[in-house]
């Protein structure tokens, strides 16, 4: 055999070296292959054409095994139709792959994993496809991000595209740019006749569309792409525009037809923004997809002549779950099923929008010749017609039909009409409740018996007999039929107190337990006093609590008691936090985000907590949000806050007015606030962006006394709310506080102030910044006593 060292580059493993013993075993196994007629070589015997005998083996089998970047480049230098590049199992870091070549329909060029799910591309990695009949499969992108702004691109460069090519059974898991607002795509589809199927796309946490179909050249228009059987896993709330899961086209090319088919995909809690699918081109088919508890809508934002059929929307009563939004001309929406959708305004269960007269290409074209037929809507909170009517959006729907639809609600009728809807004809629709008089002639009121069928959908035999509602035989796409079967579809949400409990008795034990804890663990503090001479670093979901209320006192002795890093969430439960031993310096903070922008959303909860004596020096704050941080939830319940020289919640770091904000849901209930020099809450969302739902504030059953009068309180308010989209202020008592200032910004802010008592303070001041006319806030059953300052 010549040299005793057998070198088989096509069998090697990434970052693996063979021992002499291992090499002998490998040679023995290859000898077995030789005896069965396979070609192989021990050593690198050169052929007359310069290829090794190992390359001859690869050509004989049409498979070339590679284990590093240089081998890959060599293997693909002259790749031919019918050949397959096999990446050996392992992790490849900073690997930018170009798969370039011309296969045929019968003999595609393939790139695949030795074992599906055992090849991981990490660091600064991506894939580009350039040529014809190319196929990529079996890979995982994880622990990194693309350096080019696209993880998988169906083009080599702006002029060399992919045609008749496919990416299948591949995973992209949290492969997000660490700069949350550095936008990128995970998949960019260019060229024509390409397919994206059976992929796992989960955990995108930065701005940018998960999958984008681009029409920015003639070679990518009328593309006939197919996007099917993909699992679009949970996507966190972005808190800004640019969080779509799928976009087909852009406004610039929206009058161009794409002919893209989007079918049999599963959208699982894809909560990035108000548009889950943003359709911005024509002649597309969107069918048989499932939208499970996803905030937002399938939006026909631009483009004409699209078909939306057979889709299933399951909201399960979750906040802001929506259905279909209709804009533009010649749209057909038929045979869809919608249940338990709570969305409002743009994000309603079914929304027909007003357009802009003579609209520019990037605004809202008039709804013309829309056909909405044979859909079933069960417990859909809002069906909005001529929605978003205002001075600009005044072009009402015309030449449209709403026929043979089944509308069933357990409570009140769901229709809202915002403008003239005479351009929509209503006929042969069924409803179990009285609908609005303006559309009632097109409805028959009928007691409807619904039965959940074997496919999990509520159907009515009476409706089916009368050709009303969706086809009862529709079978929703199963989650198990999407993505891959070798990678988990797990819930990324980790609840507080969901894992182990670790008991500690000293501050040192607390620090040690925190470092070793796992996400979801709780640290239980035995009764006593804890002097925190070290800052608590929160980089996981963690709970700090005591066995019994008022038995544990924490004394922060650093300028910051706890810092929430990326990936961290904190619940404080049944603790006393006393600031009297804090450093004698201005600006102490109890809890804050890390100073660098964070990628992942977090949660912060105070339950049964007493915070006192944050007054050693001025401007001591309870919580200070970080720039470009977003809390999914901030909860204060059954807690007390006394003698604080700064603010309680500082959620006002996004002052660049881009529609970005620091908290989605702020809930403050059953708590008391006394002698707070700053604001109890300062929440800011500026700009004119309409693609988000928050912030939301629930402020109920609280007692507020002597809050907001400190000379360093720049807002001069006890609560300052700018751009909050949903405010409920209920059954509170305010005594000797600074004014409550509410500024309604863009969107359709909903503010309810009810059953509150104001002692020596006036009613909240609500100002409309963008909307002309009187405030849209509702104030009722409030009591004002004493002298109003």
In which element (H, E) is residue 461 found? Answer: helix 461-465
> Rounded distance, CA 91 to CA 125, Å?
11
Burial of 645 (0-12, 13-18, 19+ CB in 10 A): buried
pLDDT in tens, 209-229: 999 999 999 999 999 999 999
Peptide bond into 495 cis (omega under 30): no
For residue 624, CA distances in Å to 388, 563, 584, 590 come to: 35, 10, 19, 8
Residues 574 and 651 occupy one common structural domain = no
Report DSSP letters for 568-588, one per residue: -EEEEES-EEEGGGS-SSTT-
* DSSP string across 502-545: EEE-SHHHHHHHHHH--TT-EEEEPSEEEEE-S-EEE-SEEEEE
Q: 664 and 782 share a domain?
A: yes
566 and 671, same structural domain?
A: no
497 and 423 in a common domain:
no
Structure confidence at residue 774 as a pLDDT band (50, 70, 90): confident
> Of 320, 221, 219, 198, whose CA–CA distance to 280 is shortest?
221
* Residue 664 within any structural domain of the chain: yes
Tell me the whole-structure pTM to 2 decimals: 0.90
7 within some domain = no
- Whether 748 shows a pLDDT value over 90: the answer reads no
pLDDT of 235 reads 95
Asked whether residue 736 carries a pLDDT value surpassing 70, the answer given is yes
Q: What is the pLDDT of residues 506-557, one digit of tens each?
A: 999 999 999 999 999 999 999 999 999 999 999 999 999 998 888 999 999 9
pLDDT of residue 50: 33
| Secondary structure element (H or E) that encloses residue 597, with its range | none
Which residues make beta-bridge pairs with 166?
135, 195
pLDDT above 60 (res 56): no
Contact 707, 673 (CB under 8 A): yes
pLDDT at position 48 over 80? no
Q: Are residues 399 and 513 in the same domain?
A: no
The reply to whether 608 and 674 lie within a common domain is no
CB 292 within 8 A of CB 314: yes
Q: What domain count does the chain have?
A: 3
Res 141: pLDDT: 98
Q: CA 516 to CA 521: how far, in whole Å?
A: 10
Residue 264 pLDDT > 50, yes or no?
Answer: yes
In a domain, 154, yes or no: no
Shared domain check, 511 and 429: no
pLDDT of residue 747: 75
Give the C-alpha separation, 357 to 367, whole Å.
11
pLDDT of 772: 66
Residue 426 located in a structural domain = yes
User: Residue 682 — pLDDT band, cuts 50, 70, 90?
Assistant: very high
Q: Is residue 122 part of a domain?
A: no
Write down the pLDDT at residue 61: 66
The verdict on residue 540 lying in a domain is yes
pLDDT above 60 for 751: yes
Separation between Cα atoms, residue 716 and residue 154, nearest integer Å:
55
Tens-place pLDDT, residues 2-27: 333 333 333 333 333 333 333 333 33
Q: What pLDDT digit, counting tens, does each position of 317-374 carry?
A: 999 999 999 999 999 999 999 999 999 988 999 999 999 999 888 899 999 999 999 9
* Claim to verify: residue 572 and residue 654 sit in the same structural domain: no
Output the six-digit token pair for 242. Answer: 């640019």
Average pLDDT of the residues of the chain: 91
Domain assignment of residue 555, given as a range:
493-580+592-613
SS3 383: strand
Return the residue matching tokens 């963690």. Answer: 542
Indicate whether 694 and 777 sit together in one domain: yes
Burial of 20 (0-12, 13-18, 19+ CB in 10 A): exposed
Would you state the pLDDT for residue 59? 45
Please report whether residue 176 resides in a domain.
no
pLDDT, tens digit (0-9, with 9 covering 90-100), for 59-102: 446 999 999 999 999 999 999 999 999 999 999 999 999 999 99
Asked if 789 and 663 sit in the same domain, the reply is: yes
Assign residue 310 a region (left: φ > 0; alpha: ψ between -120 and 50; beta: otherwise): left
Tokens (6 digits) for 690: 């309409």
Q: Is the pLDDT of residue 34 over 90?
A: no
Share of the chain above pLDDT 90, in %: 84
606 in the same domain as 669: no
Quick one: DSSP state of residue 251?
G
**Rounded to an integer, what distance in angstroms lies between the CA atom of residue 606 and that of residue 385?**
42
Flag whether 63 is in a domain: no
* 352 CB neighbour count, 10 Å cutoff: 28
pLDDT the model gives residue 390? 85
Task: Examine the pLDDT at 301 and tell me if it is beyond 60.
Answer: yes
Identify the band that residue 762 occupies on the pLDDT scale cut at 50, 70 and 90.
very high
Q: Are strands 640-644 and 610-614 parallel, antiparallel or unpaired?
A: parallel
> What pLDDT score does 445 carry?
95
Residues 680 and 758 in one domain: yes
SS3 call for 9: helix
């Amino acid at each position: 055999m010549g040299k005793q060292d057998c070198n088989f580059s096509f069998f090697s493993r990434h970052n693996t070296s063979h021992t002499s013993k291992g090499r002998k075993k490998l040679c023995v196994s290859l000898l077995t292959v030789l005896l069965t007629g396979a070609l192989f070589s021990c050593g690198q015997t050169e052929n007359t054409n310069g290829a090794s005998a190992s390359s001859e083996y690869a050509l004989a089998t049409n498979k070339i095994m590679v284990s590093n970047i240089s081998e890959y480049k060599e293997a693909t230098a002259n790749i031919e139709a019918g050949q397959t590049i096999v990446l050996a199992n392992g992790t490849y870091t900073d690997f930018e792959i170009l798969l370039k070549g011309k296969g045929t329909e019968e003999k595609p060029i393939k790139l695949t994993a030795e074992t599906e799910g055992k090849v991981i591309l990490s660091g600064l990695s991506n894939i580009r496809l350039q040529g014809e009949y190319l196929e990529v499969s079996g890979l995982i992108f994880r622990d990194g991000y693309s350096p080019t702004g696209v993880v998988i691109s169906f083009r080599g460069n702006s002029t060399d595209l992919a045609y008749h090519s496919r990416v299948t059974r591949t995973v992209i898991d949290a492969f997000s740019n660490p700069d949350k607002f550095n936008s990128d795509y995970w998949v960019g589809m260019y060229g024509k006749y390409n397919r994206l199927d059976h992929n796992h796309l989960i955990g995108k946490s930065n701005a940018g569309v998960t999958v984008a179909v681009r029409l920015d050249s003639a070679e990518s228009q009328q593309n006939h792409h197919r996007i099917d059987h993909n699992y679009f896993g949970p996507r966190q709330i972005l808190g800004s525009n640019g969080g779509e899961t799928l976009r087909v086209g852009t406004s610039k090319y929206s009058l161009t037809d794409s002919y893209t088919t989007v079918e049999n995909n599963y959208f699982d809690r894809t909560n990035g923004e108000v548009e889950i699918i943003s359709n911005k081109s024509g002649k597309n088919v969107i069918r048989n997809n499932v939208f499970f508890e996803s905030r937002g809508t399938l939006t026909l934002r631009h483009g004409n002549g699209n078909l939306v059929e057979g889709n299933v929307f399951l909201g399960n009563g979750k906040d802001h779950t929506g259905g279909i939004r209709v804009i533009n001309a010649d749209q057909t929406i038929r045979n869809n099923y919608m249940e338990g959708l709570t969305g409002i305004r743009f994000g309603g269960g079914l929304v027909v929008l007003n357009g802009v007269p003579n609209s520019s290409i990037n605004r809202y074209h008039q709804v013309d010749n829309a056909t909405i037929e044979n859909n079933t809507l069960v417990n859909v909170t809002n069906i909005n017609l001529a929605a978003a009517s205002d001075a600009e959006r005044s072009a009402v729907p015309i030449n449209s039909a709403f026929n043979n639809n089944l509308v069933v609600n357990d409570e009140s009728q769901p229709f809202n009409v915002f403008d003239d809807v005479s351009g929509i004809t209503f006929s042969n629709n069924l409803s179990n409740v009285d609908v609005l008089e303006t559309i009632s002639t097109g409805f028959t009121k009928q007691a409807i018996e619904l039965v959940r069928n074997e496919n999990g959908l509520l159907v009515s035999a009476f409706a089916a007999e009368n050709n009303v509602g969706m086809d009862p035989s529709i079978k929703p796409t199963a989650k198990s039929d999407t993505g891959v079967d070798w990678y988990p579809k797990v819930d990324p949400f980790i609840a507080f107190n969901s894992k182990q409990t670790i008991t500690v008795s000293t501050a040192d034990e607390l620090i040690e337990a925190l470092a070793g804890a796992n996400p979801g663990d709780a640290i239980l503090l035995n009764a006593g006093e804890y002097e925190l001479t070290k800052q608590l670093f929160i980089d996981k979901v963690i709970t700090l609590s005591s066995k019994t209320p008022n038995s544990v006192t924490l004394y922060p002795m650093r300028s910051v008691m706890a810092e929430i890093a990326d990936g961290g969430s904190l619940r404080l439960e049944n603790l006393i936090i006393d600031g009297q031993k804090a450093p004698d310096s201005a600006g102490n903070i109890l809890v804050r985000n890390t100073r660098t922008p964070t990628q992942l959303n977090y949660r912060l909860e105070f339950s049964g907590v007493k915070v006192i004596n944050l007054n050693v020096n001025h401007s001591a704050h309870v919580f200070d949000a970080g720039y470009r941080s977003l809390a999914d939830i901030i909860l204060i319940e059954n807690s007390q806050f006394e003698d604080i020289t700064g603010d309680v919640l500082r959620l006002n770091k996004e002052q660049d007015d881009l529609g970005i904000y620091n908290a989605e849901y702020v809930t403050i209930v059953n708590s008391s606030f006394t002698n707070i020099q700053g604001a109890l809450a300062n929440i800011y969302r500026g700009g004119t962006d309409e693609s988000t739902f928050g912030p939301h504030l629930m402020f109920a059953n609280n007692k507020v006394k002597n809050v907001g009068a400190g000379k360093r309180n720049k807002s001069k308010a006890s609560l300052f709310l700018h751009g909050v989209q949903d405010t409920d202020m209920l059954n509170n008592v305010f005594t000797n506080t600074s004014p409550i200032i509410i500024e309604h910004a863009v969107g359709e802010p909903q503010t309810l102030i009810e059953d509150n008592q104001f002692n020596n303070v006036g009613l909240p001041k609500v100002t409309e910044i963008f909307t002309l006319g009187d405030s849209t806030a509702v104030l009722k059953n409030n009591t004002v006593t004493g002298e109003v300052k």
